[in-house]
A and B are shown apart, each in its own frame.
Chain A
Amino acid sequence: MTDQATERAQRLATLPFESSGPTSVRSVGGFVSAVREIFGQKELLDLLIRRELKSRYKDSSLGFVWSLIRPLTMLLIYYVFIGQVLGAARGVPDFAIFVYAGLTLWGLYSEIVTAGTSSIITNAGLIKKVYLPREIFPLASVGSALFNFAIQMGILLLATIALGQFPLSWDLLYVPVAVIIVIIYGTALALLLSALNVYLRDVQYLVEVAILLFFWASPIVYSWSFVVNATVQRGASWLGELYLLNPISISMIAFDRGIWKAGSEQRVIEGNVIPAQPWPEHMDIRLVITAIVGLVFVVIAQRIFARLQGNFAQEI
């Protein structure tokens, strides 16, 4: 044996044994060790996010511009058809800002969930060949969705400044809170659904449909006051409460409250007086509870993910 070999053997003899693959599967302590493992790979996570962003528009000449064209087209459609043609803009002041704010936050959520759901399948090549903490793949989808969100958020803020509607008040703090809640729930769903999708490919199609449906279950193209009117007038205020149980709805309302200045003021449109939005009571407490429940959901989702990932390599 050469010296180098002896040295290596001596070094190896001092190393502790690690079990191959993911460590503990069952306990909640496994969550902590999984988080630590992922944190140890943050450089790789960063590279995977870049890869996802780079490869998406790799061969197109407009590249990143495409990620802007889609939401702007949607804004145009909703502004013209829902707002002007169907007249929603008559009840919602600064309709363009309102819709764009809703689309921006919804875009973040739907991108995390849809890209996250297929993330394990699209990275089959890696999963079959190397061991990595697999949570990294749905998390990379979250990262790339956040990047797109940041660009759109920048445009939204510029638009509010350009229109002289920059929401300079303490309510602005609702914006990061709403974004954090959306990220929490998006991440939990991405973890859970990506693992399920390996075993049942129908999940990704189901998600597409659910995303279409839930788009209308949050105040994106109609405002919160529409919901209040529709439920209270019919004497069904419990329906409004149910609506607020949807974590995305409550975050959307918080987001609007932060960024959409006109919502908190009384405005006059074409002679009609539009009162300020009747923001839900105890909103801060509701948001805190929603966030805490979301964090529990993340832990549960990660535990399920850890259970299912043992067979990923052969099921893909």
Chain B
Amino acid sequence: MSSPAPESTPVVVRASDVSKRFVIRKDKSLKERVVNFGRSNKHKDDFWALRDVSLEISAGSTVGLVGANGSGKSTLLKVIGGIIQPDTGIVQRRGRLAALLELGAGFHPDLTGRENVFLNGAILGLSRKQTEQYFDSIVEFSEIGDFIDTQVKFYSSGMYVRLAFAIAVHVDPDLLLVDEVLAVGDEPFQEKCMAKIREFQKEGRTIVFVSHSSAQIEDLCDRVVVLSHGEAIFDGGTVDGLEALRESFGR
């Protein structure tokens, strides 16, 4: 399994033997824990979300993470982003990271769009001045218009994602993690996002992309990693990857 990117490009993400186990506890309250104390093992279920996944991603590549529901794609993305810690193995990365995971990357519902842009900018590592510089262009990209001074809780889900995406692409990331969020926007906006992602590819940024849409994967990615039950079962070219994905559904 060799990575299709040329040898000369530096590695941005290096994951070695990453495993993540989820313990599903069925008792959450103190009372239940006390009552079930001696028998606590019966009230636990292990679930391996990731098992010995090793992966190197080199700069400038666009990697699609695919797999059936529950195969560990999103967990892997979160481990790369540092949001969850793996139980074993290490993940190293370099460069500025921006992550778009699920809806609205950390918006506060009671604050206005404007306040959230500054908050999110700071979270993604921009200084106040830099956010001010990018502000107009963020609002323009998101097409939110006058709603920027409305509290975010009144936004539609499309507006949410548009604003979140607009911020994420303006923080000048070296590594962009995208988790299925683009499916929410309308078609013109999706087109716009795709165009932006292509621009990113030209600029040599690295993108890790979780999607269920084969068309999007085929369109954008130069490498596909197929996950199944927490294991990486395929790592290579797009066409073969999608083939392997279809086979994995049967397993």
Our verdict on whether A and B bind, yes or no, reads yes
A residues sitting closer than 8 Å to B (CB atoms) are 1-2, 4-9, 12-13, 15-22, 41, 43-44, 47-48, 51, 54-55, 58-59, 125-132, 200-202, 310-311, 313-314
Contact string against A for B residues 88-117, beta-carbon threshold 8 Å, 1 for contact and 0 otherwise: 001111110001011011111011000100
Q: B234 at interface (Cβ–Cβ under 8 A)?
A: no
Q: B146 at interface (Cβ–Cβ under 8 A)?
A: no
B contact patch SS: loop
> Which has the most chain A C-beta neighbours within 10 Å: B30, B106, B118, B203?
B106
Q: B54 at interface (Cβ–Cβ under 8 A)?
A: no
**Cβ–Cβ contact A130 & B106, under 8 A:** yes
B residues sitting closer than 8 Å to A (CB atoms) are 8-10, 12, 14, 22, 28-30, 33, 59-60, 78-85, 90-95, 99, 101-102, 104-108, 110-111, 115, 118-119, 122-124, 127-128, 151, 174, 202-205
Report the number of A-B residue pairs with Cβ-Cβ less than 8 Å: 126
Using Cβ atoms and an 8 Å threshold, which residues of chain B touch A17? 14, 92-94
Are A19 and B95 also in contact (CB < 8 A) when A8-B174, A9-B9, A313-B78 are?
no
> Which has the most chain B C-beta neighbours within 10 Å: A2, A9, A13, A126?
A9
In the bound complex, CA of A21 to CA of B28 (Å): 26
**Cβ–Cβ contact A20 & B122, under 8 A:** no
**Cβ–Cβ contact B28 & A201, under 8 A:** yes
Q: Closest B residue to A56 by CB, please name it.
A: B110
**Cβ–Cβ contact B102 & A129, under 8 A:** yes
In the bound complex, CA of A22 to CA of B82 (Å): 8
Contacts A17-B93, A129-B105, A130-B106 known; list 20 others, CB within 8 Å.
Answer: A1-B204, A2-B204, A7-B204, A9-B10, A12-B95, A18-B92, A19-B92, A21-B91, A44-B123, A47-B118, A55-B110, A58-B110, A125-B104, A126-B123, A130-B105, A131-B81, A131-B83, A201-B29, A310-B84, A313-B78
**Cβ–Cβ contact A20 & B81, under 8 A:** yes
Determine how close the nearest CB of chain A comes to the CB of B61; give it in whole angstroms: 11
Determine how close the nearest CB of chain A comes to the CB of B177; give it in whole angstroms: 10
Using Cβ atoms and an 8 Å threshold, which residues of chain B touch A132? 123
From A19, A54, A58, contact of B90 by CB (8 A): A19
